[in-house]
Each structure stands twice: as structure tokens, then as C-alpha cells.
Amino acid sequence: MARLIYSAIMSLDGYIADADGNIEWAAPDEEVHAFVNELERPVGTYLYGRRMYETMRSWETAHTLAGQSAVSLDFARIWQAADKIVYSTTLPAADTARIAGGNTHSIRTRAAA
């Protein structure tokens, strides 16, 4: 049986985004990113809501950007290798590879859930 692991970066007062809705404050340094990579390496499937999927899908092409650190490139490979399931009532389609089921039918709506 697979394990479900919930993971989130948040401030001590429980917020993920700042007052403007940004999460840049939580960008890890190289040491923390390497640690996160080891935690994420065995993940087979990510379950996302629309906003987090939209944030994370930049990893789909991160390896094509110049100047990426080895740790960032490692995370890009980890993220790209995992399946993704997106739960959203507002996202019409998921546009990255490895959407579970191989198509956009993995977009779940409340009616389908």
C-alpha cells in the first residue's frame, strides 16, 4: 500500500503565501533544496490544486534555462519523473507531461470527485 505524505512550506504562523499571494519568501537555499530533493526523490505522484500546479509546472522546462544549479536540475528531473493529478474546478487543462492517465481527464471537478 502506498503512503500519502502531505508536505508544505509555510511560515511559523501557518501562511504559505505573503499578503500579496507570493511564495518567493520560501525559496530554499542550496542546502535546504538538496534536503528537499532527497525527501521528494521517492514520490511517485503529486496531488495538486490549481494554484500549486500552476506554480510547480515551471519545473517542466527548468532544465532548459541557463544558469540552473545542480540541485535545481536534480529537482527538475525528480518533478518531471513523477505523475501529477490536478484537482481543479477552474483549470480547463493540464499542460505538462506525466499527467496521470496521460491526458487532461485527470483534471477533477467537484462533480467528478
Q: What is the pLDDT, as a whole number, of residue 111?
A: 43
What are the CA-CA distances from residue 65 to residues 59, 60, 68, 76 (Å)? 10, 11, 6, 11
Q: Give the whole-angstrom CA distance, residue 103 versus residue 107.
A: 9
Q: What are 65-112's pLDDT values in tens digits?
A: 999 999 999 999 999 999 988 888 788 878 888 876 544 444 554 444
All structural domains of the chain with their residue ranges:
29-106
